[in-house]
Amino acid sequence: MGVKDAELGVAVIIPAFKSSRFLGEALHSVFAQTLPPAEIIVVDDGSPEDEEAVVAPYLDRVTYVRKDNGGPGSARNLGVALTCSPLIAFLDADDLWEPQKLRTQVAFMRQNPKTLLVGADAWEFGEGVPLRRWSRTGERQGAPKLGLEDLVAKNGLPTLTVMLRREAFERLGGFSEDRALIAVEDYDLWLRMAEIGTLGYVDEPLARYRRRGASLSGTRRFLEGVSQVLTRVIQRNPERPELLALARKRRAGLFLDFARELQDRGHSKESFSAILKSLALVPSDLKAWKLIGRGCLYRFHRKRNSGNP
């Protein structure tokens, strides 16, 4: 990798909202790239915090712009519109990149000229979270497949790892700015890209995803957003009936994830309702029945410890 890789310039887009305590660290991870980007844009998405003060010392190499709050999709779209590099990479203001991130992915895109997008693995970290590979946690057991069917079944692309071609991004109109898709606008775009071309993957941690506590309202909004995204991909592909079964299974799994979180927080009745919604989609799912048993045990122990009959 040398001069030719540098010719494939990269624009780095960083949306910022309530992230002033992390933004400086994110920027330094961009400055530390072994292949420097051609452009760096920080888009302040109407944050109530002083994101501009964090960026101010770096205005010789970073463009800062502020807009009314519209969500990360609209912030990323504005950032892309203000740049001209043929490759685009996204980094959220509370996440980090490994130094070789851009160099590795630019080389991949040069070697695979028909690939529209390349993702990668990432390290997860945060308070109370041991350092671990994103692709090897929970039910994720290795490098994801990135065909349309695979992405309907499971999103294997963390946004902070994605690099894509401007031509494809503009052809698809960028991220959806529908507020109903906030937090899943990235997943919506990856699916639309998989509909028109090939997506690639580097099975190496090239970024660091900061795990932060999620609220129940945030989890519920994520579930509803993914459900809308899946509905849209099915509507766009009526000739692909196999996507419907995959989407039903994905929705069922999301309801189970939500039910488990509700159980952990002591919301037994709401958890049971979520399990029933999962079973309505996939009645034979043993995980749902096991979760019902888990919930019964939780209630039994709570009643015994509280002294109630």
Cβ 22 vs Cβ 93: under 8 Å: yes
233 in a domain, yes or no? no
224 in a domain, yes or no? no
Residues 189 and 262 in one domain: no
> Tens of pLDDT along the chain (309 residues)?
444 544 689 999 999 999 999 999 999 999 999 999 999 999 999 999 999 999 999 999 999 999 999 999 999 999 999 999 999 999 999 999 999 999 999 999 999 999 999 999 999 998 777 788 888 766 656 788 999 999 999 998 999 999 999 999 999 999 999 999 999 999 999 999 999 999 999 999 999 999 876 667 778 889 999 999 999 999 999 999 999 999 999 999 999 988 888 888 888 888 889 899 999 999 988 888 888 887 776 665 565 666 555
Cβ 177 vs Cβ 73: under 8 Å: yes
Distance between CA atoms of 225 and 215, rounded to whole angstroms? 15
Residues 45 and 170 in one domain: yes
Residues 123 and 15 in one domain: yes
Domain end position, chosen among 195, 210, 225:
210
Give the model's pLDDT for residue 289. 84
Give the model's pLDDT for residue 129. 72
| Continuous segment of H or E residues that includes residue 243 | helix 242-264
Domain count for the chain, please give it.
2
219 in a domain, yes or no? no
Cβ 13 vs Cβ 79: under 8 Å: yes
Domain end position, chosen among 169, 191, 210:
210
Domain end position, chosen among 188, 210, 232:
210
184 in a domain, yes or no? yes
Give the model's pLDDT for residue 306. 60
Domain of residue 252 covers 241-306
Residues 23 and 65 in one domain: yes
Residues 19 and 142 in one domain: yes
Distance between CA atoms of 261 and 267, rounded to whole angstroms? 9
